[in-house]
Structure 1
């Protein structure tokens, strides 16, 4: 579901930060919409750091080691990293990272090093998973160049970074909740029986593993329903990002 998660992150950012075609909940300038969509796409893959074969684990130096540690601390794939506890921790980490800066000797303004690092990682992961970049080398070049450009010329754009990472993370959990596997939102509290909203026209009686919540409208991961939703979200994201790109053009 890597591509699906990345697309859902970008689409969610468009929905939140644009008025057309979004809802304008937190409107941003076109540059913030474009760069934030790339960051949110990458952030929407972060919960899968608990799986050694995930896109985000493959992207990071020492990613398999990080994945092993995360998996060991949280109980394995789709356990602790897919919970409200992890969401709060990631959001707090993003806030702390957004405050990290460095002022070189003789400079009159600080460089937003922390936000740039977070943005570079998310953009690199997002562009690779969305197949904008075919190789990790190119995706990292794009991520580092974009983050460096923002840090140098548009440092105020980083104000949205924690919210962007938080939205991407939550969108991932919602996507997994819509599959038969479900998500243990209340981890480390593990219920005796999984909670499944069932018996509707589109949902059969499906019981995911212990402790999870599921509204399996998409069925199993990779189903035709997931493919259909991903296609619609892709078209929606392209619409919003194209509008933002056109708004940047002179005149």
Structure 2
């Protein structure tokens, strides 16, 4: 997975991806990211909205809608994801403590939105990976520092990937997302990318809660190193067929 070879590296990477997937909503005063640190993130949110509105006014095409250009605009673009990702990568290259700070910020933001269970799950996985990878003659602290050092600039990929994932998620909704800005499409530089009308759903709808979120959760688990090969080695095709047969036999017996 993007050059990472151990759980000690993947856990901080995943925490950063999950947390920074919430950053684009800093452009909304009521967003969870905007309320993360109270007045501090509130001020950042106000500044982002002002800059986004100014950027929209300067770059909108002849067929772009009459909008303030604040919510779901500047922060909801591939350009913003790449820009913040490059900034995080440059910081991550400076050392393990910078990586830790970026990953911890993402983790706390994810826990703020999704609940404390995220914090406990990641810390538990981190503890398991640290103690499991500590070599004879080294301490768990050495293993942790080695994992953070191994990530380095890859932390920028986590940040950019998280933000872009948010954009893709918004593209599934009825409002769409202009993440291809400033590429002009049909006279619009802020063209909202969205699914065909019949496949769109509203934000916070049952489709998002019962289908999209569980699917992303399962995909995230399968991306962890060793999980997918473990499943394949544990359940061969014959064993899976027999297990499914036993389940249905029990249901309808």
TM-score by length of 1: 0.63
For 2:205, the equivalent position in structure 1 comes to 223
Assess, with a 3 A threshold, how the Cα gap between structure 1 residues 99 and 194 changes in structure 2: closer, same or farther: same
**1:226-245 to 2 correspondences below 5 Å:** 226-227=208-209, 228-238=211-221
* 8 Å contact from structure 2 (residues 92, 156) kept in 1: yes
| 1:114 CA drift (Å) | 2.6
For 2:107, the equivalent position in structure 1 comes to 123
Question: Which residue of 78, 90, 102 corresponds with 2:72?
Answer: 78
Q: Give, in whole Å, the separation in 1 of the partners of 2:14 and 2:32.
A: 18
| 1:166 CA drift (Å) | 1.3
Residue 44 (structure 2) pairs with residue 66 (structure 1): yes
For 2:85, the equivalent position in structure 1 comes to 91
* Largest Rg, 1 or 2: 2
For 2:5, the equivalent position in structure 1 comes to 28
**1:1-251 to 2 correspondences below 5 Å:** 17=1, 26=3, 28-60=5-37, 62-75=40-53, 76-101=70-95, 112-133=96-117, 152=145, 154=147, 155-188=149-182, 211-215=191-195, 217-227=199-209, 228-238=211-221
CA RMSD of aligned residues (A): 3.7
Aligned residue pairs total 194
The gaps in structure 1 that reach 5 residues or longer are 1-16, 18-24, 102-111, 196-209
Q: Give, in whole Å, the separation in 1 of the partners of 2:174 and 2:105.
A: 30
The gaps in structure 2 that reach 5 residues or longer are 54-69, 128-140, 231-253
| 1:153 CA drift (Å) | 5.0
Assess, with a 3 A threshold, how the Cα gap between structure 1 residues 93 and 231 changes in structure 2: closer, same or farther: same
Query: 1:133-156: per-residue Cα shift (whole Å, max 9, x none)?
Result: 59xxx89xx7xx99xx68745322
TM-score by length of 2: 0.63
* 8 Å contact from structure 1 (residues 80, 188) kept in 2: no
Assess, with a 3 A threshold, how the Cα gap between structure 1 residues 179 and 194 changes in structure 2: closer, same or farther: farther
Assess, with a 3 A threshold, how the Cα gap between structure 1 residues 99 and 239 changes in structure 2: closer, same or farther: closer
| 1:31 CA drift (Å) | 1.9
For 1:6, the equivalent position in structure 2 comes to none
For 1:207, the equivalent position in structure 2 comes to none
| 1:57 CA drift (Å) | 1.8
* 8 Å contact from structure 2 (residues 179, 192) kept in 1: yes
Q: Secondary structure at the match of 1:221?
A: coil
